[in-house]
């Protein structure tokens, strides 16, 4: 049901763009108005969300530690598993953001056959498939995003040409098949099937988990259709994009509706971004379990929302009741 709802949502979006351009000739809306709106929503929404998160206090030091904390000189400590300073924190964040290090330790529970007897025992086994699928998906998506800069820049930097050349190194067909296209499709399909076939994962999956998957799949599919099958006038596309980025929007002569479907789905993804789980792009920097230093034994973490408590120390107490205490014969610190 959840899957069907997400699928239908994405299909409606695609059909809306297709009919809008093919039959109602609303190129102006799908080519200029919506992309601009999407970009503004993305920028403003993203920034607002970051500032909103920055207002949340962190009450406790909740660093996840999986290694020896820095203590005595002769005890070897683990910089990344239990960072004792900003070097360790930056290193750990870097490896988390670029290599999804914590997913590398993903495990799955199940019946494991013991080596000695024929019996099965419940236990945990390493499961790196999510790590690998996620890594392949994110890196190929980034690669594709950077590759698309050829539509946004002129002259095209040689770095982008090199990236493109590397991506098409097997020279399969013409236009040459991009390897990242295949990697992206395979990994997104895997990430989707994972949510369908693993019962526990299926149980916790929401509509909001399926919508981005289908949206990205539809974007990839429309892009691949456009490049390899139905073809569009690439120069027309570049003309439109360059006119948008120079704030003098102008529609090109005739660009196939498939392009507008692709463009509208990308716009939808950008509009959806700040309000969805996709914000983990910014949110990963706000994970207290990763971005805090494991120094709770050396430095006191003061809860920022503590209000100032009015204290009355024993010294002050003695000063206040000195005469009375003296009279009663009670011992005093100061005479």
Partner 1 sequence: MFKMYSKIKVFTGVFIFLALATFPFWNKVFIVSKTNYEMPDANIKPALAFARENGFSGCIEDRAFMRAKHMKLLNHWRNEVVRENKKTYINSKGEHFNKSLTGTCLKCHSNKEEFCDSCHTSAGVKPYCFDCHITGIQNTNQLNSKAEAIHEIK
Residues that bind partner 1 (CB under 8 A): 42-43, 46-47, 50-51, 54-58, 149-156, 160-161, 164-165, 171, 173-175, 231-235, 238-239, 241-242, 245-247, 254, 256, 282, 285, 304
Nearer to partner 1 among residue 147 and residue 195 (C-beta):
147
Is the peptide bond preceding residue 175 cis, with omega within 30 degrees of 0?
yes
- Beta bridge pairs of residue 113: 120
CB of residue 181 vs partner 1: minimum separation in angstroms? 16
CB of residue 231 vs partner 1: minimum separation in angstroms? 4
Backbone dihedral angles phi then psi of residue 38, each to the nearest 5 degrees: -60, -40
What is the H or E stretch that residue 100 is in?
A: none
**CA–CA distance, 30 with 23 (Å, rounded to integer):** 13
CB of residue 222 vs partner 1: minimum separation in angstroms? 16
CB of residue 158 vs partner 1: minimum separation in angstroms? 10
Nearer to partner 1 among residue 164 and residue 209 (C-beta):
164
CB of residue 129 vs partner 1: minimum separation in angstroms? 31
CB of residue 122 vs partner 1: minimum separation in angstroms? 43
Nearer to partner 1 among residue 136 and residue 232 (C-beta):
232
CB of residue 232 vs partner 1: minimum separation in angstroms? 6
Nearer to partner 1 among residue 26 and residue 58 (C-beta):
58
CB of residue 54 vs partner 1: minimum separation in angstroms? 4
Is residue 138 a contact partner of residue 127, using CB atoms and an 8 Å limit? no
Q: At what angle do helices 2-22 and 207-224 cross, to 10 degrees?
A: 40
**CA–CA distance, 123 with 110 (Å, rounded to integer):** 6
Nearer to partner 1 among residue 105 and residue 165 (C-beta):
165
> Residue with structure tokens 């601009």?
36
Nearer to partner 1 among residue 123 and residue 157 (C-beta):
157
Nearest to 62 by CA among 329, 287, 331, 326: 287
**CA–CA distance, 17 with 30 (Å, rounded to integer):** 7
Nearer to partner 1 among residue 10 and residue 241 (C-beta):
241
- Reading the block at residue 324, the tokens are 């009375």
- 3-state SS, residue 283: helix
Nearest to 133 by CA among 194, 209, 204: 194
A 10 A CB-CB count for 89 gives: 19
Buried b (16+ CB within 10 A) or exposed e, 170-200: eeeeeebbbbbbebbbebbebbbeebeebee
Nearer to partner 1 among residue 27 and residue 318 (C-beta):
27
């Amino acid at each position: 049901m959840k899957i069907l709802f997400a699928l239908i949502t994405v299909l409606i979006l695609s059909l809306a763009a297709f009919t809008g351009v093919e039959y109602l000739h609303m190129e102006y809306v799908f080519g200029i108005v919506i992309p601009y709106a999407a970009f503004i929503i993305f920028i403003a929404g993203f920034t607002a969300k970051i500032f909103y998160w920055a207002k949340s206090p962190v009450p406790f030091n909740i660093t996840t530690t999986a290694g020896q904390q820095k203590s005595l000189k002769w005890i070897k400590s683990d910089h990344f598993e239990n960072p004792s300073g900003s070097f360790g924190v930056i290193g750990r964040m870097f490896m988390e953001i670029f290599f999804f290090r914590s997913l590398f330790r993903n495990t799955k529970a199940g019946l494991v056959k013991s080596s000695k007897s024929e019996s099965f025992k419940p236990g945990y086994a390493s499961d790196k498939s999510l790590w690998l699928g996620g890594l392949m998906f994110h890196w190929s998506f980034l690669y594709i995003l950077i590759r698309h800069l050829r539509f946004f820049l002129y002259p095209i930097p040689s770095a982008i040409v090199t990236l493109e050349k590397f991506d098409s190194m097997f020279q399969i067909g013409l236009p040459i098949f991009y390897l990242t296209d295949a990697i992206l499709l395979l990994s997104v399909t895997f990430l989707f099937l994972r949510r369908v076939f693993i019962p526990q994962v299926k149980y916790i999956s929401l509509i909001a988990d399926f919508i981005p998957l289908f949206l990205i799949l539809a974007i990839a599919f429309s892009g691949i259709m456009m490049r390899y099958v139905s073809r569009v006038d690439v120069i027309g596309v570049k003309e439109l994009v360059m006119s948008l980025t120079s704030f003098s929007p102008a529609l090109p002569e005739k660009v196939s509706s498939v392009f507008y479907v692709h463009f509208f789905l990308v716009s939808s993804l950008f509009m959806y971004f700040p309000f969805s789980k996709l914000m983990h792009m910014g949110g990963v920097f706000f994970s207290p379990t990763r971005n805090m230093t494991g120094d709770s034994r050396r430095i006191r973490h003061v809860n920022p929302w503590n209000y100032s408590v009015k204290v009355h120390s024993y010294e002050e107490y003695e000063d206040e009741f000195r005469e009375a205490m003296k009279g009663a014969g009670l011992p005093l610190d100061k005479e």
